[in-house]
Structure 1
Amino acid sequence: MELRFELKQLHLKETFSIAYGNYDKREALLIELSHQNGKGYGECVAIDYYQIDLQSFVLKLKEIQPKIEAQKIIHPKEFFKFLMSLNLHPFLLSALDCAYWDLFGKLENKSFIELNNIPSENLVESSITISVGEIDKQIQKIEKSNWNKFKVKCKGLDRNNVEKLLALNRNIALDSNASFTDQDCLWLQENVEVQKFSYLEQPRPIDQYKALRKEGFANWMADEDCQNLDSLDELIPYYKSINIKLMKCGGLTAALEMIKKARELNYKIMIGCMTESTVGISAGCVLAGFVDYVDLDGANLISNDYATGNFVENGKIMLNGKPGLGIELR
């Protein structure tokens, strides 16, 4: 097996504004694993609020390259056990795990969905993100869009804005990126109208969720609070839903385990994304048949996508059915 990697830059179509800051571009690390005629691809991106340093990932890849290239082709779940022994950051672990699933499927001539018996009909539609801005401009974007589901970003809680969004009678979720106060959360979960929002994502900073009550009217969804399998048990009294992102949890293998346990614990599940190219989005799309919500608009927000594969068109998940994750570079 051969390992290659390359730093890339993703340019956003327009400035992306969230409570953490404003962004015009994202740095990405593209990974390629190849064997015989097969090439598999994975990706991770530099997200500043996760303190991601891609240069350190490059150094780590150079260090572990001989070990990876010495591996025989084995089942991806066995390869994941090998990756776990290398003590990798979850973002880097995810890129390697996804690349290997893509490669393995191509070598076996089977899609990830076939290999894991995942439903692929009647998939839930993805939301598209409306970044932080004046409420009237956010509403204008919603009304002009061809998408049916929306995730509206906000910085802090404005009750008038909440009422304006609820009055639209559209499928809307609210994502404050941890900018709500405890008082905001109490008002939201005690307000019967708030159940019209499909979910309210990561209302408070990490580990500051004790004011939340899942019995209230708000469908609280954990994002940064839900990093991996170990988070699920302790979040039960507070969150009804969780957002699984491949980079956050360590890839497809880890996500399959999280989905299984989350179902057992009666969570609603979303497969989410960061700003990613079609390499990352293709991997997320294959899990859509297992989840209740999808937020995989990342590649739709960039202007220089460098790959083809599974994609999202006006919210609809388009699976190409090709072997592996169906990813090819342009």
Structure 2
Amino acid sequence: MSKITDSTYYRAISPIKNAVNKGRVIPLGGTPRLFFLCGANGHDGNVSYRRKQVHDFLLKNVENAQVIIAEKFFDEYRRNSREKNALDFEHVLTKVSEKVIIIMESPSAICELGAFAHHELRHKLIVINDSSFKDSPSFINTGPLEAVRECSDENRVLWYKMYHGDVEGKDGVAAVFHDLNSLVENPSVASKRIPCEDLDPSNEITAKTALFVHDLIFMMREVKYKSLINAVKIVFGESKKYDNVKKILTILISLGFIAYEDRFSKIKSVRGKAFFRYSDDDGVMRKGFFLDGLKQRMRA
């Protein structure tokens, strides 16, 4: 990289670095709210009737909702992560999600309830269950469901009469939508400044770290993986490990926020704007990165 190109690059990235390190990053309107929806699949491999109904309800009624269906993520995750087991992957999805909604309609959903009722995650859970079992002294009721009830004053275990036949069967799952809406109502304020540690990809993966990585890609227009990591290092420091970035890219791809065909291609945002604000004129940064890329191509 020439000194001129170097200068152009650092002038472009400096406002991001300064905003992050001084805690001046602010969410913009339209920041997505991520909901992880668990339940059964039908015989055709698509989500069950109940899960489709809840999925559509969230998208229609919750502003900026993005619904995570885990099955769509697995192939991408296994390709980009050393860990191949679905449990670790689902814990990653749980950490980036605002709420985890489990429809108790299959053995796999029961397993997910047991996994996510851990004390670090249970505060995110909303469980939809069959009212036929509401008064049962089973371990499900006295164990994980009781743990969910105890960790909040809200009623986050929702009951209705489920159809007991095949998972493809249709029933009145909409009976819980009023209470579900109360639990996922839009937050009142989204303009709070975000501290540096909440954006750092070397820490645990959260929605904020994932959206920051998207914004870095968006500002750089298109970027190779190695160059993305170098940019992250400039912002957060050279001495840290950024292995989480590969998992974050998987999440962003699966949500439809970025395109990344393979490890030899460039990573691009498919959105028209960033999720956070970094300066009074973030367009200047994009122009700086564009000029830097143009200079590099001219010198190639």
User: Normalization by structure 2: what TM-score?
Assistant: 0.29
Between Structure 1 and Structure 2, whose CA radius of gyration is higher?
2
User: Normalization by structure 1: what TM-score?
Assistant: 0.27
Bigger helix fraction = 2
Higher relative contact order, chain-length normalized (CA < 8 Å, sep 6+):
2
